[in-house]
């Protein structure tokens, strides 16, 4: 089995095919979209491939250590140009092919007009633990 991280972006990803912003969909289209996302996660739970998934708020900041005795330095909010993660899902699947297949399904979530969004998702393999046998 191999773990993959599926990343969804607020911005920074190439433009999707169906790019109408969500607040210009009809309320029913919003509902259908959310249902699709929930059912996708539920299906992965049933197949035993779901590990974790969370959504992130769009706001955030940079933080770094500023030496002993000083509070950490913060910088934010993020500039408009920044690549911004919207959420993630961790899946544990047989191989890369299966991970790509699932990412494709997720990207087909319906958007405006009920048509698939064709959103670009980032797929990143986890670096795994060293196996016991690899001396």
- How far CA 93 is from CA of 12, 23, 68, in Å, comes to 26, 34, 44
Q: Which residue shows structure tokens 């790509």?
A: 100
Q: Look at residues 33, 13, 37 and name the one whose alpha carbon lies nearest to residue 25.
A: 33
- How far CA 57 is from CA of 61, 77, 87, 132, in Å, comes to 11, 12, 8, 39
Q: Which residue shows structure tokens 């393999």?
A: 125
- Burial label, 87 (beta-carbon count in 10 A; 0-12, 13-18, 19+): middle
100 is an interface residue for other proteins by CB under 8 A: no
38 is an interface residue for other proteins by CB under 8 A: yes
Q: Which is nearer to other proteins, 52 or 66 (CB)?
A: 52
**Contact mark string toward other proteins, 5..34, x via CB under 8 A:** ---xxxx----x-xxxxxxxxxx-xxx-xx
Here the tokens at position 133 are: 């046998």
**Contact mark string toward other proteins, 40..79, x via CB under 8 A:** ---------------x-xxx--------------------
Member of 73, 77, 86, 125 binding other proteins (CB under 8 A): 86
Minimum distance from residue 135 beta carbon to other proteins (Å): 30
Minimum distance from residue 19 beta carbon to other proteins (Å): 4
Question: Residues interacting with other proteins, by CB under 8 A?
Answer: 8-11, 16, 18-27, 29-31, 33-35, 37-38, 55, 57-59, 86-87, 109, 111, 117, 119
């Amino acid at each position: 089995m191999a773990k993959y991280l599926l990343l969804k972006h607020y911005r920074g990803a190439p433009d999707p095919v169906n790019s109408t912003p969500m607040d210009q969909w009809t309320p029913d289209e919003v509902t259908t979209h959310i249902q699709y996302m929930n059912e996708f996660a539920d299906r992965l739970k049933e197949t035993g491939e779901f590990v974790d998934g969370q959504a992130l708020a769009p706001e955030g900041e940079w933080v770094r250590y500023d030496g002993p005795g000083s509070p950490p330095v913060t910088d934010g909010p993020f500039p408009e140009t920044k690549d911004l993660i919207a959420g993630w899902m961790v899946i544990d699947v047989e191989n890369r092919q299966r991970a790509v297949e699932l990412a494709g399904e997720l990207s087909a979530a319906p958007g405006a007009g009920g048509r698939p969004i064709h959103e670009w998702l980032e797929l990143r393999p986890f670096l795994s633990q060293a196996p016991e046998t690899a001396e």
